[in-house]
Amino acid sequence: MTGHSPHARPVLSTQTVGFLLIPGFALMSYAAAVEPLRAANQLSGKTLYRWWQTAPGNEPAVASNGAAMLANHEFGAASDAPDLLLVCAGGNPGSFRDSRTFAWLRRLARQGVVIGGISGGPFVLARAGLLAKRRCTVHWEHMPAFQEAFPAVRLTRSLFEIDRDRITCAGGVAALDLMVALITRDHGYELAAAVGDWFLHTQIREGEGPQRMDLRFRLGVGDERLLAVLKSMESNLESPLSRDQLAQIAVLSLRQLERLFRRQLGRGVHEHYMALRLARSLQLLRGTSLSILDIAIATGFASASHFSRAFHANYRCRPRDAARREGLVSDARGPH
C-alpha cells in the first residue's frame, strides 16, 4: 500500500523504534507517536515497524496523569540498538538530571541511532549534548525555560523538526503529524495518508506549522486593533511596553484601549499584561534553576521584591513555593 511520493525513501527491512519514557511523560504524546506505527503495520499488512518502551532504571514509568507503563526492554542495553529512539518527557523536564540516561543516549548516538525527543524530550537531548548545530523544537510551555537553559541551541516554534539524525516534536497531537511525515518518507504518501485517515486526522500538518492556536481563536478576539496589541504584549515580556506605546500600536487613545480590553477580555490593559508576565514567570520557576531575581528580570520586574509581591497577589503563594504547588493557573490568558 505504499505510494509513489518522490520524497519517499523505500525501507525494505522492519524498523525498530524505541521509546524512552521519562517519569512524568505526557501520555497523549506517547500514544500519538506509537499508535501510527501499529496502524501502518495493520494497513499495509506487513510488519513495517516494531517498537518497545523502556524507562530509567527499568522501573515502571508513571505518566503525568498517573498511568504507569511497564518497561519491556532493558534500559541502557549495550546491544540491540533501535533504528530510532524517541525520548518522551513532560512535567518539568529541566529537572531531569540522570547521568546514566545521558550516557546511554550519547552511546546510541555514537552507534548511529537516530534520536528524537517529544514534548519535553528535547530538554533531555539538549542536556545530553545531542542538539548542538541542530534545529529543534519543544512544547511551547517549555520554551522559556529551554531558551534560558540552552541559549546556543537553534530553537524553533514549529510542530516538529527533522534535522539529519535528530528529530524533535512539540508533543500532543503533533506527534501524530511527525509520525505521518516519517511514514511518508519511508513508505510513501498513500500509506501515510491512510494512517492519518485511520485516526480521523483529516488535515496532516507540516512540521513548520504553528504550535499554538491563533490569538483570535485562543482568546475569542476578533478586533484587529486588539489583536495587534496582544501580539505585541506576548512578544515583549522581558521589557514591557508602556500603555501609551500599546495605545499607539492600536491607533487608539489610552481610554479607548482600556474600554476595548475590558469589553473583550474582562480586564484592563495593565491587568492582562501583568497576567502574561506572571504566567511566564511560573513557567520559568517550574522549568529552570534560575534565581528569583533572574526570573524577575526576565519577566520585566525592576526587583525581586516587586516580582514577589505581584506573584503572591495573583497566585496566593510565594514564588519559591510555586514549583511545588499544584493547581496554579498558567493558561493562555494567564492567572486570574
For the domain made up of 215-322, the CATH class stated in words is mainly alpha
219 and 333 in contact (C-beta within 8 Å)?
Answer: yes
**pTM, full prediction:** 0.72
Sign of the Cα pseudo-torsion (320, 326, 331, 336, in order): negative
Which residues, given as ranges, of the chain have pLDDT below 50? Answer: 1-8, 327, 329-336
Q: What is the three-class DSSP state of 243? A: helix
Kindly report the number of other CB atoms within 10 A of residue 325's CB atom. 14
Pairing type for strands 166-169 and 160-163 reads antiparallel
Nearest CA to 194 out of 2, 29, 4 is that of: 2
18 and 88 in contact (C-beta within 8 Å)?
Answer: no
pLDDT of residue 4: 34
For the domain made up of 15-198, the CATH class stated in words is alpha beta
Q: What is the pLDDT of residues 215-227, one digit of tens each?
A: 665 677 778 898 8
Cell of 37: 506505527
- Please state the domain extents for the chain: 15-198, 215-322
pLDDT of residue 217: 58
pLDDT of residue 2: 33
